Amino acid sequence: MATLTPTLTVKQPKSRHGGGGDIPHYPGGGGGGGGRGDESPDYGERLRRCRLGLAVGIAPIVMLFVAFSSAYLVRQGLASWDLRTNSYINDWAPLRMPMLLLVINTCLLLLSSLTMEFARRYAARLAAIAPITAMPGIAADDESSFPWLGITVALGLGFLAGQVLAWRQMEARGLFLSSNPSSSFFYLLTGMHALHLLGGVIALSYAVVTVWLKRPPEARHIVVDVTAWYWHFMALLWLYIFALLIVAH
Amino acid sequence: MTQAHGPADAAPATVHGHAPTGFIRKYVFSLDHKVIGIQYYFLALTAVCIGMILSLAMRIHMVWPDASIPFFGAIKPEQYLTLMTMHGTIMVFFVLTTAPQSGFGNYFLPIQIGAPDMAFPTLNMLSFWTTFLSFAVMISAFFVAGGAPLSGWTNYPTLSAIPMAGPGEGLGEDLWLISIALFCVASMMGALNFITTTLDLRAKGMTLMRMPLTCWSWFITAILGLLAFGVLLAGGILLLMDRNLGTSFFVPGGLVVSGVPVQHSGGSPLLWQHLFWFFGHPEVYIAILPGMGVASQLLSTFSRKPIFGYRAMVYAMMAIGILGFMVWGHHMFMSGMSPYSAFAFSFMTMAIGVPSAIKTFNWLGTMWKGKIRFTVPMLFAIGFVSLFVSGGLSGPFLAQPAIDIPLHDTYFVVAHFHLIMGVAAIFGIFAATYYWFPKMYGRMMNDALGKIHFVMTFVGAYCIFMPMHYLGMAGNPRRYSQFTEVKYLAPLIPIHKFITYAAIITVSAQLLFLFNFFWSMKKGKKAAQNPWEATTLEWTTATPPPHDNFGGVTPVVYHGAYEYSVPGAEKDYIMQTDPTPVPAH
Amino acid sequence: MGLALLLIIWLITFLSSYFFVAHTWWPHAISASAPYIDHQWHLTFIAMGVVFIAAQVALGFVVWRYRDHGDAAKASYSHGNNKLELTWTVLTAILFLGLNAIGSPIWAAERFHSADTSAMKVEVTGLQFAWYFRYPGPDNKFGRTRPELEDASLGGLSALGVDSADPAAKDDVVSGVLFLPVNREVDLTLRAQDVIHSFFVPAMRFKQDAVPGLMIHMHFRPEQTGDYEIACAELCGLGHYKMHGIMRVVSEQDFEKWLAAREADKQ
């Protein structure tokens, strides 16, 4: 995508909206340290900055789940002295998950990652031709395009609904949050992931709405692009969590 | 202020480069990093006043348990631990993390690297208001039934996990945890902004190795915050679940608290300690690193000499940051953790002394053969070095598990961390305040008052914390509200009285600072654009800086931050934006 | 101001150092391992003391010597010296890591080995806000405890919830004072019934947290008779400051006499 940016020239007022709020317009930029010699206008720079911000922002989420994972593994292997039995006990009961449902959910999420990628590329294309479509008399056929974003949101909501269903099934089996440390961690990990994914759904819904808000395609591209990377990260994170729950059950 | 650049017509507040008008957008929900920096600073100023009053109340209660304190009345024994917990929490989070990093960092990082604002101004505003909300929740813990928690800022379960374990361990403890969780989120948002800004918004020519050491310290601190706060957040969530949702992460089976059986089983209190200190030790460096940056900046400026060993200073800060993540277990030598792991933690901790020593040597090297100007900010920077040495050298005692056996959780530890992450860091904040006040408010702070403030605070801090080493050696445990019950502590009470007197005088001296600060804001001598004859970018712009920092001009940087006393140059300093060539080095 | 600063820094340095050495702050040491710990302390103290005084004196000197005289001369222009940088990096590394290497065996001797098989067993229990000490009696076995039997208000065996139905508990003795025979190794088992406490005996140079969920084994050997105080060194709640006890070290005969009397009381 980076190859697109230097060729773009965008009228300034357009490029100053959207993204993660208002980003300062600042030509030039970093010196030798960054090694970027580009004199690209606002929009390409903003895209890169938002991507960088996202990459940095993913770090604390990773740390959060690293902390949960290490707590998971420690708690699983832990024997603590129980004053009732006068002995060291390990009360970890192997986790029984609704596997079929979770596999279906996983497929939904992976599929949504795919549609998200299509949406991202489509938004990039629209942004690339934006300088042309901005000319009077030329219109891009926005409406006839396939609604990849809407489908992604739907699939994301489907995944969340599936997760809620999985929790219901766990409860039906008598495995509640406080039943056993293994079920506590199941709800914790899946819940925290769902919460983060919900953030992505909200961002995507905003991107969908921008179509009606008549935001310039470049601004929309930034929202879609950054959310897409976040979405892919969420899919990866889910695969990791699912693998952890299966391998170390 | 003359600030708007570009077309002045139809300037919606969201478009940057145009100063917002209206009071709300300008001062309350401002997107300007300078306003946000000042908001953080005032939040920290409020917090430090509360934290200091709490500590004074504690000191008075320790030695005169029946004394009536204004606003508090006589302190009841059960209130002591609440004061201590809130003192620690407020100071560590809302002062030492907030003022030097979020406050000064917000204000001066963008200006020093030549950027018009932070990378994500809205996020910046959001992180301030989240911090504010966090502070409000923390303070509200005082006013709920049972009061604020008493489990210390380290908040060890099972004391913190079981509501019956003490007053304040009910709703107060939940509020504490929620406040800390909010603070974690705010800090992570702030750190994200700092890192992106440093990487992406540097002016032309501002290479990483030309950045002022203050920027390096804010940058490294931001990375520490980014990685550490997520772990604390995880710990906080687990503890909240244990307390409210019946899980057993930290609580083992069969406990009976206040005669009531506890319905948990299988958890481990040590798990919290690991999570907490994995955050907690980097947090120490989050508090002190910006102070190191400020000290470096000021020692060079006021010695009129380039910083000695710029690269070594940068690498030392990086080493401290990296090693800081590998030493958390030294807080847990007596916790029942494997004695073998103590070996590794001890080794790493001793190793962290090396970069710290490098910094001290380089500070002395910077002043050596300098031309030292004793301005108030310089005095505080020199004080910082002295306190950093004093507080740092008690570290190698505590880092050795064998010596830590008698010293762990005694006043020796209290002396150690107060000197280094408390007083030294506060000296960094004072130095920064006196140094940048003219840029922030366009006026100088009063010099004579500042000098009196320095001497009283410097001597006072030593009078308070040096004797605590002796108390620790004598075996005086920390977090004791009275010294009358344990017999061997009674002879130490005169020392505690001395400390309390010193604390009263030192805290009173801070009124001089507060007076000086607010009086100078209105009545201080008008400041020139570059009153200290310093080289960094904030001194190239108007005072106070315009909305976009450089009034539409794009600064271009030609060399590093510390070109003082260049032979053959006209003046004894060359600004970073001055194209005059300097000798290769 | 330069001279004033020099005087202040030097005076602080002198007084701080003076009070470190002018008084024996450490409590009189009576355990077998205390001399090693104290020795390591002294070694570290001398090393850090020298560095402390040298650094502070140098700081005071430098600020006075290189103060601005108001003349036109410029300060010396130097960006540093890599050789010097390397020198002090290596020197401090040797100092700090050397101290670490010297001190490590002491820790290993303290904590890596379990007690002798001949050591006397005592169980130390921390609960809000008292220490209880249990002796296994002639069978050398501790009886089982039950949380539901705990009643702190009754003290003694009831405070720990010792189950009298267990045969091993028949000869268990619980005391509020830690009676120990002199010159005999003690095998301590530390446990806690509610929150974390820390068993701190300054005269023994001994400290160990008592943690709910852990049974921690430690050992030490008192070498002088007398009464020594035990404090709690981990924040455990309201009464933390008054959670203390007495360790009474007596001769072997006196100890046997005391234990026999306690056993007799039980019958």
- Express each pLDDT in B167-201 by its tens digit: 899 999 999 999 999 999 999 999 999 999 999 99
Residue pLDDT tens, chain C, 267 long: 889 999 999 999 999 999 999 999 999 999 999 999 999 999 999 999 999 999 999 999 999 999 999 888 899 999 999 999 999 999 999 999 999 999 999 999 989 988 888 899 999 999 999 999 999 999 999 999 999 999 888 888 899 999 999 999 999 999 999 999 999 999 999 999 999 999 999 999 999 999 999 999 999 999 999 999 999 999 999 999 999 999 999 999 999 999 999 999 877
Q: What would the DSSP string read from start to end of B29-45? A: S---HHHHHHHHHHHHH
Residue A139 reports pLDDT greater than 90: no
B498 touches chain C (CB under 8 A): no
Q: Report CB contact under 8 Å: B409, C208.
A: no
pLDDT for residue C16: 96
Q: Does position A21 have pLDDT exceeding 60, yes or no?
A: no
In C, which residues are within 8 Å of A87 by CB distance? none
Q: What is the pLDDT of residues C226-258, one digit of tens each?
A: 999 999 999 999 999 999 999 999 999 999 999
Tell me, what's the pLDDT at B23? 80
Is A87 an 8 Å CB contact of chain C?
Answer: no
Report whether B577 contacts B536 (CB < 8 A). no
Residues of chain C with CATH 2.60.40.420: 120-266
The domain locations on chain A are 40-247
At residue B368, φ and ψ (nearest 5 deg) are -60, 125
Q: Given this model, what pLDDT does residue B68 score? A: 84
Q: What mean pLDDT is predicted for residues B89-112?
A: 97
Rounded to an integer, what distance in angstroms lies between the CA atom of residue C33 and that of residue C205? 8
C181: left (phi over 0), alpha (psi -120 to 50) or beta: beta
Amino acid at B67: A
Residue A23 has pLDDT above 80, yes or no: no
Nearest to B474 by CA among C234, C23, C204, C26: C26
Whether the CB-CB separation of B244 and B294 falls below 8 Å is answered with no
Give the closest of A29, A49, A80 to B267, CB-based.
A80
| Shortest Cα–Cα distance, A66 to chain B (Å) | 8
Q: Is the pLDDT of residue A10 over 80?
A: no
Out of C52, C74, C209, the one facing B390 most closely (by C-beta) is: C52
Does B227 have pLDDT greater than 50? yes
pLDDT attached to residue B27? 81
pLDDT at A142: 54
Nearest to B323 by CA among B366, B364, B363, B358: B358
Rounded CA-CA distance B302/B304 in Å is 5
Say if CB A51 and CB B224 are below 8 A apart: no
Tell me whether residues C193 and A83 touch, CB distance under 8 A.
yes
CATH number for the domain spanning B459: value is 1.20.210.10
CA–CA distance, B537 with A6 (Å, rounded to integer): 29
Confidence at A37, pLDDT banded by 50, 70, 90: very low
| Region B91-111 average pLDDT | 97
- From the list A21, A52, A192, the residue facing B199 with the nearest CB is A52
- Residues of B in Cβ contact (< 8 Å) with A56: 191-192, 195-196, 226
pLDDT reported for residue A5: 36
Asked if A188's CB is within 8 angstroms of B237's CB, the reply is: yes
pLDDT at position A140 is 56
* Alpha-carbon span A193 to A243, nearest angstrom: 14
| Mean pLDDT across A68-76 | 96
pLDDT over 70 at B379, yes or no? yes
Contacts of C86 (CB under 8 A, 6+ apart): none
**Residue C224: C-alpha distances to residues B229, B488, B527, C39, C124 (Å):** 49, 18, 70, 19, 21
Please provide the DSSP assignment of B35-88 as one string. Answer: HHHHHHHHHHHHHHHHHHHHHHHHHHHHH-TTPEETTTEEPPHHHHHHHHHHHH
Nearest residue of C to residue B566 by CA position?
C77
A176-235 per-position pLDDT tens digit: 999 999 999 999 999 999 999 999 999 999 888 877 777 788 888 899 999 999 999 999
Q: What are phi and psi of C201, to 5 degrees?
A: -120, 95
Q: Which of C146, C161, C214 sits opposite A81 (nearest CB)?
A: C214
Among the listed residues B89, B92, B91, B79, the one whose alpha carbon sits nearest the alpha carbon of residue B147: B79
User: Average pLDDT of B135-159?
Assistant: 95
pLDDT at A36 exceeding the cut of 70? no
pLDDT of residue A24 exceeding 50: no
* Summary count for chain A: helices (H), strands (E): 6, 2
Nearest CA in chain C to B81: C238
pLDDT at A137 over 80: no
Q: Which fold has domain C120-266?
A: Immunoglobulin-like (2.60.40)
Phi, psi dihedrals of residue C138, rounded to the nearest 5° = -60, -30
pLDDT tens string A41-67? 488 889 999 999 999 999 999 999 999
Tell me: pLDDT of A144 over 70.
Answer: no
Q: Do you find a cis peptide bond into B581, omega within 30 degrees of 0? A: no
Residue A4 — pLDDT band, cuts 50, 70, 90? very low
Angle between helices B33-63 and B106-113 (to 10 degrees): 140
Exposure string of C50-88, with b = 16+ CB inside 10 Å and e = fewer, is ebbeebbebbbbbbbebbbeeeeebbbbbbbeeeebeeb
Cβ of residue B260 closer than 8 Å to a chain C Cβ: no
Residues in A closer than 8 angstroms to B201, CB to CB, are: 24, 26, 29-30, 49
Measured in degrees and rounded to the nearest 5, phi and psi for residue A36 equal: -105, 115
Instruction: Report chain B's mean pLDDT, rounded to a whole number.
Output: 93
Please give the average per-residue pLDDT across B558-564, as a whole number: 94
**Which spans in A40-180 are helix H?**
42-77, 99-128, 130-133, 148-172
First to last CA, chain C: 79
Number of independent structural domains in chain B: 1
To the nearest whole Å, the CA of B285 is away from the closest chain A CA by 18
Range of the domain at B99: 33-251+264-540
DSSP states along C114-134:
PPPTTSEEEEEEEETTEEEEE
Q: Which run of H or of E encompasses A81?
A: strand A80-82
Q: What is the pLDDT of residue B347?
A: 96
d(CA C234, CA B413): 13
Confirm whether the ipTM is greater than 0.90: yes
Residues A63/B230, Cβ–Cβ less than 8 Å: yes
φ, ψ of residue B152 in degrees (nearest 5)? 80, 165
CB pairs under 8 A between A and C: 18
Q: Answer yes or no: do C79 and B307 touch at CB < 8 A.
A: yes
Model confidence band, residue A33 (pLDDT cutoffs 50, 70, 90): very low
Question: Is pLDDT of A101 > 50?
Answer: yes
CA angle B550, B216, B313 (to 5 degrees): 135
Residues 6+ apart with CB under 8 A from A204: A116, A149, A152, A153, A156, A224, A227, A231
Q: Pick from B300, B305, B451, B427: which is nearest to B375 by CA? A: B451
CA B306 – CA B285 distance, rounded (Å): 25
Give the number of beta-carbon pairs within 8 Å between B and C.
332
Please tell me which of the candidates B17, B192, B235 has its beta carbon nearest to residue A67.
B235
3 state SS of C142: coil
Question: Buried (b) or exposed (e) across B225-240, using 16+ Cβ within 10 A?
Answer: bbbbbbbbbbbbbbbb
Measure B345 CA to nearest chain A CA, in Å. 18
Residues B582, B565 contacting (CB under 8 angstroms): no
Beta-strand relationship, C197-201 and C173-175: unpaired
Tell me what pLDDT residue B527 has.
94
Q: What is the SS3 string spanning C183-243? A: CCCEEEEEEECCCCEEEEEHHHCEEEEECCCCCEEEEECECCCEEEEEEECCCCCCCHHHC
pLDDT (0 to 100) of residue A164? 97
A86 at interface of C, judged by CB pairs closer than 8 A = yes
Q: Which pLDDT score is estimated for B22?
A: 79
What is the rounded CA–CA span in Å between residue C241 and residue B279?
A: 28
pLDDT band for position B66 (50/70/90)? confident
- Which positions in chain C touch B455 (Cβ < 8 Å)? 4, 8
Local confidence band at B437 (pLDDT 50, 70, 90 cut-offs): very high
| SS3 category, B191 | helix
Q: Amino acid letter at B505? A: I
Helix, strand, coil tally for chain C in percent (to 5): 45, 25, 30
Our CA-based measurement puts residue C129 at a distance from the nearest CA of chain A, in whole angstroms, of 18
- For domain A40-247, give the fold: Four Helix Bundle (Hemerythrin (Met), subunit A) (1.20.120)
CA–CA separation, B469 and B395 (whole Å): 12
Give pLDDT, residue A83. Answer: 93
Interaxial angle between packed helices B493-523 and B33-63, expressed in degrees from 0 to 180 and rounded to the nearest 10 = 150
Percent of chain B with pLDDT strictly greater than 90: 88
Say how far apart CA B247 and CA B477 lie, in whole Å: 33
B120 and A82 within 8 Å at the Cβ level: the answer is no
- Determine, for residues C215 and A83 on separate chains, whether the beta-carbon distance falls below 8 Å: no
Mean pLDDT of A11-29: 34
Q: What pLDDT does residue B73 have? A: 80
In terms of residues, how long is chain A? 249
List Cβ neighbours of B522 (8 Å cut-off, separation of 6 or more): B443
